[in-house]
A = this chain, B = another copy of it.
Amino acid sequence: MNPVHPPLIPAIRRFNRFYSNILGFLNQYVTNSEFSSAEVCVLLEIGQTENCTSKKLARELKMDTGYLSRTIKRLEKHNLVAKKRSEKDGRSYYLYLTEEGSDSLYKLMELSDEQIGYLTAELQEKNKKGLLEGMKMIEDALADSLLLFKKKPKLAKQTER
C-alpha cells in the first residue's frame, strides 16, 4: 500500500535544490556585508535571546565553543557586542548588543528585507499568495518531524579515509 501521490523523495530532492538556490540568493546580504556569516548568526542570536550567554549560543547555533569565543571576541573588538560577568555565576558572561551592534543588526535586517524584496517584487498577487500558502503547508507538514530530530542525538562522524 505505497502512497498514490507522486514519489515524495525525488520531489523533496528537487525542491531542496531549488530552495537552496533561493536561500543562496537571499543570503547575499550576508556575503555583501562586512561580516562573516558566523558573525551575523551570533549578532542575530544575541539580538533575540534573553540573558544570552556563550553557552546558549553554542547550543542554539551548534557552534564550536572555541570558534564561538573568538567570534564574540571579534565582535567585541568592533564594539558591537559587550559582556557582563554574571553575579550569580562568575564563570558565565551575559552578552548583549551595544548601541552600535544594534544599529548594525538593524541595517543588516534592512538589507535582508531588500534582498527578499528583489525576490518578490515582480510576483503577481496570486503567486505571493501561493508562496505564503506553500510555506505554511510545508511548515505544518514538517513541524513534528523537525521537533523529533532536534531531540535526537547527533550522529557521529563515521569512517576516516
Residues of chain A having any CB pair with chain B under 8 Å: 3, 5-6, 8-9, 11-16, 18-23, 25-26, 28, 31-34, 78, 112-113, 116-120, 122-123, 125, 127-142, 144-146, 148-150, 155, 157-161
Known: A15-B138, A23-B23. 15 other contacts (CB 8 A): A5-B128, A11-B135, A11-B136, A16-B23, A18-B142, A19-B19, A32-B158, A118-B149, A123-B141, A123-B145, A127-B141, A130-B140, A133-B137, A134-B141, A137-B137
How many monomers of this protein are in the complex?
A: 2
Question: A146 to chain B: which residues have CB within 8 Å?
Answer: 18, 21-22, 25
Could you write out 17 A-B pairs with CB less than 8 Å apart? Answer: A3-B128, A8-B131, A9-B117, A11-B132, A18-B146, A25-B146, A31-B155, A31-B157, A32-B158, A78-B161, A123-B141, A123-B142, A127-B142, A130-B137, A130-B141, A134-B141, A135-B138
